[in-house]
Amino acid sequence: MQPANKLSLFSHFADLEDPRIDRTKKHLLLDIIALAICAVIGGAEGWEEIEDFGKDKHDWLRKFLRLPNGIPSHDTISRVFRRLKPEAFQDCFLSWVQTLHQELGWKHVAIDGKTVRRSFDRVTAKNALHLVSAWSVENHLTLGQQAVDGKSNEITAIPELLRLLELEGAIVTIDAMGCQKNIAQDIVDGGGNYVLAVKGNQPTLHTALQDHFLELHETEFADAEVRRWVTRETAHGREVERHYYITPVPESLRGQSEWANLRSVGQVITFTEENGKSSDDVRYYINSIPPRVKLFASATRGHWGIENSLHWVLDVTFDEDRSRIRKDHGGENFSLLRRIALSLIKQDTTKQSVRRKRKRAGWNNQNLLNILTTKT
């Protein structure tokens, strides 16, 4: 496919190593990659549907792709993605992401894990695919992913993912699983700042933060260097009130020198009322950002963008949680196809839902072309 502008995604896959032997190459690798991305944007959720999409759009696709032997079968498409090295496939995508970074920059990078629940295989005792993803909150863009055996292995996957990212000047937010000294150090070494949630997996630290903020509340912040901020939201009969508190690192906090560039600690108390029922939630954070409460509030609130704008959309709109694609590298590579498609759709500024954009892209060639060639 010929790039329509300098941010065209497809040109970045031109040097991707073909996993097939020469005598089986009846279809060009770049044609298969481009076809799959177009099809997933247009609603395809499996190899057969990619083939169906290609056959229905054959004449239009021929304007951009070479397709010397027509549309490849779903078996051919499946074999290619099962054999394709996920690291190499992602490297090509990250090349495009890096181009976008030069145009946009990343202000807030959220990192979180997600399990593709139906991807397990009882016959081979293969666990469900668990992916740790990095998400640009402001740009609604997947920045990379790492596959691991399960949630407990996120600790080893996060440093590998961080090494793929351009972190200079960005705030990186991670849930409690990523609250590790080496991860904080990696973020700082990469030129970024961190806001890390603290829970029971760091019991000493968690207890110390509880005691610190409890004392502040009991003394009503008398003579304390604390910044406070309150937000209120009402939507669909649900009322949410959030109280944000941030202070410099207390002198009494043990082991603080072991955390790279630790500059502040924070607390978020959330009160929710819905259908006549009230609930509350308290979270604690350690941060390398200065004690600026609005910056802290933006980082902690924005972190849920990876849940709402990535994971939720992948499950509800792309039906990822029910995907049974699992053989060889097929599941991991198809997950990246979904994230590529979602990233492209999110760059389109038309005020429509992702679901509607996918349907319109599948129905109308010009709508698909607009998504493929959107210049951010």
Residue whose pair of structure tokens reads 């690798």 in the numeric block: 29
pTM: 0.89
For position 151, what pLDDT does the model report?
Answer: 54
For position 359, what pLDDT does the model report?
Answer: 97
- Is residue 147 within 8 A of residue 156, CB to CB? The reply is no
For position 116, what pLDDT does the model report?
Answer: 77
For position 153, what pLDDT does the model report?
Answer: 76
For position 121, what pLDDT does the model report?
Answer: 56
For position 367, what pLDDT does the model report?
Answer: 95
Taking the mean position of all CA atoms in its chain, how far away is CA 314?
Answer: 10
Mean pLDDT by 10 residues, the chain (376 residues): 53 92 86 97 97 97 94 97 96 90 86 75 62 92 84 82 93 95 97 97 96 95 92 90 97 95 98 93 98 97 89 92 89 95 92 95 95 72
For position 1, what pLDDT does the model report?
Answer: 43
- Is residue 117 within 8 A of residue 131, CB to CB? The reply is no
